[in-house]
Amino acid sequence: MAEVPVLKPEKVEATKLARMPAFEAPLFPGSLFTMNPFALMRQFTENMDRYFGMAPRTAAAAWNPVIEVKQKEGKLLVTAELPGVKKEDVKVHIDNDVLTLEGERKEEKEEKREGFYHSERTYGAFCRSIALPENAKTNAVTAVFNDGLLEIAVPVPEVKAARKEIPVSAAPAKGA
């Protein structure tokens, strides 16, 4: 049997390997091989939230209320659920055909019992913007706030879409 010389490559230190560009992820600091997988997932989630314009999960001051937008009977109806918000803390305005809802909620709970005391404070500011359709009548907008529910009605012209039926036929049989 013929002898084949075996060449041993130089020893590569782990730190050199971890710093090679192929082993670095541009979105995450540090090395993928030495990073905690839970920290990696948390960082990924925060980056995705930031990319899509969502507030970071750790930001206690950020709050996005539930908003429903629908068009019905010649009006664009915007309904916002604002639990814990007072009427005085809500602002609605229109700038350049964009409806903006702004506000802040402040809630403080205090519970005292024998040998027990619990205090909790919740704060959160919000700002939501909705693009209005063309030719919206911004001078006739109404906003009503009742029991944490804000209802805004914006008159808009009705747009009738021309509907056309398209007949559906069967495919020709194969081999016929």
Q: Which is more confidently placed, 20 or 148?
A: 148
CATH number of the 67-155 domain: 2.60.40.790
pLDDT digits (tens, 9 = 90+) for 124-147: 888 889 998 888 898 999 999 998
* Mean pLDDT, the chain, whole residue set: 78
Cα 168 from Cα 70, distance rounded (Å): 32
94-130 per-position pLDDT tens digit: 998 899 999 888 878 888 888 888 888 877 888 889 9
Residue 74: pLDDT over 50: yes
- At residue 7 the predicted structure's pLDDT band, cuts being 50, 70 and 90, is low
Q: Count of CB atoms within 10 A of residue 21's CB?
A: 6
Domain boundaries, the chain: 14-51, 67-155
Q: What is the dihedral of CA 136, 138, 144, 145, to 10 degrees?
A: 100
